[in-house]
Amino acid sequence: MTANLSTRPAPTLAVQTAPGRPPLVLAAGAADPEGWAAYHRAALHGVLAQYGAVLVRGLGLRDPDQVGSVFRLIGGELMPEREAFAHRDVLPNGVHSSTKWPANQPMCMHHERSYASELPGMMMFACLAAPSAGGATGVADAAAVLDALPRGLVERFEREGWVLTRNYNEEIGASVADAFGTDDPGAVEAYCRANAISFQWQPDGGLRTWQRRSAVLRHAGSGRRCWFNQIAFLSEWTMERDVREFLVEMYGPQGLPFTTLFGNGEPIGPGIVELISEVYAAHTMREAWRPGDLMLVDNVRCAHSRDAYEGPRQVLVGMAAPVRLVSPGGAA
């Protein structure tokens, strides 16, 4: 890495745009990915501020250590995972694997940890192995999605917010230890109280939680209102029908690993989830991964997803630039 970067002229980046595809920057021939990332850091932040997401192609990322270094050069200190809804492998230096999710099932559009009190302002993805088919990380502009949703529905969610309910146990979904980084009841309860999460321990030792969050968030940089939640992802209606029916039979309708509600506690029906998903689909931009690619996503301005895929896929994840929505002590 070149040490005296300050003597160079301020770099600029050429951005390629095309309908249905995320903005693209070519870094072909970058012999030193870490040096390239350090030199172009400010320019990358500028592109991200303008477009909300950018795919850097040709950077040549090769291994998790190098990925972690590039992530930190661009995003600063990386955030740990908390309140995970599915398992991730934790790698050295704050890097995570992609969420363990069945390859034949897509991951719906969502904003990472939009149900949490503290969330990453920036998501970073690095592809070390591209699948043989599918597997793209799609992105969708949250302000455009909000504008396309029915006004009455948006106004209701703005008034009421949305509620995420979760059940943690050792049999389905994320365990208490996966989600909170500990299985000590006292530490879990302290975390919940500090982060405005209502909780109830179950007779079998499992944990049930409820948390009410805003569904629309104003972007700190642009000032635009963004559709910002996981209403149509962490919903029982996104589960495969036979899976949902099996879970309801086994655990009851209140025992599902997760689902979403209106802010007043009323159920959100499958029609609304389908409507939101259709709007997301109409605004999705995607580009097939190539090994060595890097993608940056403004986590407030853009939602992201993962297509179903075939073949081995290794995409590493970094979360940075924390945004606090609930103050310590649980005050919203």
Greater pLDDT, 256 or 88: 256
pLDDT at residue 329, as a whole number: 45
pLDDT at 170 over 80: no
End-to-end CA distance of the chain: 43
- Torsion angle defined by CA atoms of residues 52, 58, 59 and 61, in that order, rounded to the nearest 10 degrees: 110
Which amino acid does the sequence have at 71? F
Which amino acid does the sequence have at 179? A
**Contact between 13 and 25 (Cβ < 8 Å):** yes
pLDDT at 271 over 50: yes
Instruction: Name the one residue in this structure whose structure tokens are 């999710």.
Output: 101
Q: Residue 270: which pLDDT band, with cuts at 50, 70 and 90?
A: very high
Mean pLDDT value across residues 104-127: 95
Q: Residue 250: which pLDDT band, with cuts at 50, 70 and 90?
A: confident
pLDDT at residue 30, as a whole number: 74
- Angle, vertex CA 19, rays to CA 46 and CA 102, nearest 5: 90
**pLDDT tens digit string along 174-215?**
788 888 989 899 999 999 999 999 999 988 888 999 999 999
Which of the residue ranges 56-60, 241-245, 261-265 would you say has the lowest mean pLDDT?
241-245
pLDDT at residue 10, as a whole number: 63
Q: Residue 2: which pLDDT band, with cuts at 50, 70 and 90?
A: very low
pLDDT at residue 9, as a whole number: 63
Percentage of residues in the chain having pLDDT higher than 90: 75
Other residues' Cβ atoms within 10 Å of the Cβ of residue 249? 8
Q: Quote the CA–CA distance of 33 and 294 in Å, as a whole number.
A: 10
Domains of the chain: 5-103+119-139+286-323 (3.60.130.10), 144-278 (3.60.130.10)
Helix, strand, or coil here: 230? coil
- Angle, vertex CA 233, rays to CA 228 and CA 238, nearest 5: 155
Q: What Å distances lie between residue 3 and 35, 79, 117, CA to CA?
A: 9, 27, 38
Which amino acid does the sequence have at 47? V
pLDDT at residue 251, as a whole number: 87
pLDDT at residue 8, as a whole number: 58
Q: Residue 326: which pLDDT band, with cuts at 50, 70 and 90?
A: low
What average pLDDT is seen over the chain?
A: 91
pLDDT at 287 over 90: yes
Q: Quote the CA–CA distance of 152 and 158 in Å, as a whole number.
A: 10
pLDDT at 240 over 70: yes
CB within 8 A of 52, min separation 6: which ones? 139, 141, 297, 298, 301, 302
CB within 8 A of 291, min separation 6: which ones? 61, 127, 128, 129, 130
Q: Quote the CA–CA distance of 274 and 276 in Å, as a whole number.
A: 6
- Angle, vertex CA 82, rays to CA 81 and CA 83, nearest 5: 130
pLDDT at 78 over 90: yes
